[in-house]
């Protein structure tokens, strides 16, 4: 393992250079063209088996060790967001209105350079390592499900993945067994009332008033209908009814998001939302259109693989703390991989300790401490090698409490 770590330290500057190149040249979900080409060419230069256009725009590269064994998959996403970058940095995005505001540039750089280091150890590797480079993580239905349908997990025994996490201090690893990230759904509602002059409200069916009543009543779904032991969030994102100051709204549009961990809670909220808007409209004889959009399911880490990752992460010298975290209400389509094969997903702290202010993911001034790339690479690398080094007939040992 020391040889792998030394190689990664040697290649750290290359990792940062790749990350900055990708940061300057971001591509939106489902519009990635140059990034997958860059990834494929990097792996081809290493001599790996490479499949392109996997599930649409994904890239899958395979490193086959010289000795027989199991197969481990490592995944990184590479899409960017429709955000105008406001950082004043030398490697600022060159694409107007698009930036890597979530760290996917770092994920890709980490996996590419880890692949280069592991390639140097090919003669000693028992089994295979599959590098899954995924497109369109930021936009449902996401690239994971399409890549799985196209065979990216065929023959895979276990999968590991990480997310560089700016709110967490550099040197920390965040992880937990079981649900770690929520199912992320959305909904759209169009209320059709009857508009009219503001001086004659009795002649109207006020869409704004109906919408306000709906938003107020929605707050009771989580507080009074959902089991308090089952975490859930219902948030209204927009309420739009544009009219002159003296006109009562004919219609109103409402959008929002729902975050849950249990499928029964997810089903309940989908049903309850429609009941609330239905009753709100019935009171005044208005009509509505309701669309509930299911996004990614909850990401549920497997217990043995999570314990395995925890134990090995503690052997990375740059890791100061492995922290068992609370479940996060954000969504992540790594969830689909975990539904098909065993594995675990963790977060690598990327907060620079000297920053006066830390901007969240999806913010125009989002950034990461680039030293986190080496930590992520070492943690993924040790997990992959140690998994392959286990005798095939043995299960992963659990961490002893």
Catalytic residue numbers, as ranges? 79, 137
Count of beta carbons in the 10 Å neighbourhood of residue 211 = 27
Positive/negative CA dihedral, 260, 264, 270, 276:
negative
Spatial CB neighbours of 231, under 8 Å, sequence gap ≥ 6 = 182, 259, 260, 261, 327, 329
Count other Cβ atoms within 10 Å, centred on residue 293: 15
Q: Quickly list DSSP for 253-318.
A: EEEEEEEESSHHHHHHHHHHHHHHHHHHHHTTT-EEEEEEE--PPPEEE-HHHHHHHHHHHTT-TT
- Integer-rounded Cα Rg, in Å, for the chain is 24
Distances (CA, A) of 315 to 177, 210, 311, 381: 19, 58, 7, 11
| Per-residue CA distances from 8 to 38, 112, 368, 371, 393 (Å) | 20, 11, 19, 12, 30
For residue 346, give the nearest of 162, 93, 76 by alpha carbon. 162
Tokens of 77: 């996403």
């Amino acid at each position: 393992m020391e040889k792998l770590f030394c190689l990664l330290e040697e290649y750290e500057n290359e990792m940062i250079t790749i990350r900055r190149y990708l940061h300057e040249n971001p591509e939106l979900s489902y519009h990635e063209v140059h990034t997958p080409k860059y990834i494929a060419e990097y792996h081809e230069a290493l001599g790996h088996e490479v499949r392109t256009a996997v599930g649409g725009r994904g890239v899958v590269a395979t490193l086959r060790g010289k000795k027989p064994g199991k197969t481990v998959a490592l995944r990184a996403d590479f899409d960017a967001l429709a955000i105008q970058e406001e950082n004043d940095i030398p490697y600022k995005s060159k694409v107007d209105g698009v930036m890597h505001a979530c760290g996917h540039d770092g994920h890709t750089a980490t996996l590419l350079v880890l692949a280069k280091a592991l390639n140097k150890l090919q003669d000693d590797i028992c089994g295979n390592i599959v590098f899954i480079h995924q497109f369109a993580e930021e936009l449902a239905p996401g690239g994971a499900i399409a890549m799985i349908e196209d065979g990216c997990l065929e023959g895979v025994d276990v999968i590991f993945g990480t997310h560089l996490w700016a709110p967490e201090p550099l040197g920390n690893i965040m992880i937990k067994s079981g649900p770690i990230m929520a199912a992320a759904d959305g909904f759209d509602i169009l209320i059709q009332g009857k508009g009219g002059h503001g001086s004659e409200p009795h002649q109207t069916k006020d869409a704004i008033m109906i919408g306000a009543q709906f938003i107020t009543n929605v707050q009771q779904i989580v507080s009074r209908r959902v089991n308090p032991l089952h975490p859930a969030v219902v948030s209204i994102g927009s309420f739009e009814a544009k009219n002159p100051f003296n006109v009562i709204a004919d219609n109103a549009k409402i959008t929002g998001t729902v975050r849950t961990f249990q499928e029964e809670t997810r089903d309940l909220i989908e049903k309850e939302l429609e009941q609330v808007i239905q009753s709100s409209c019935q009171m005044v004889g208005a009509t509505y259109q309701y669309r509930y959009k299911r996004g990614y399911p909850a990401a549920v880490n497997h217990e043995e693989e999570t314990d395995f990752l925890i134990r090995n992460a503690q052997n990375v010298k740059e890791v100061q703390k492995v922290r068992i975290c609370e479940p996060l209400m954000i969504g992540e389509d790594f969830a689909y991989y975990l539904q098909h094969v065993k594995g675990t997903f963790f977060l690598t702290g990327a907060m620079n300790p000297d920053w006066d202010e830390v901007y969240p993911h999806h913010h125009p001034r989002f950034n990461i401490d680039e030293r986190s790339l080496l930590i992520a690479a070492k943690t993924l690398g040790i997990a992959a090698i140690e998994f392959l080094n286990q005798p095939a007939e043995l299960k992963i040992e659990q961490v002893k409490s």
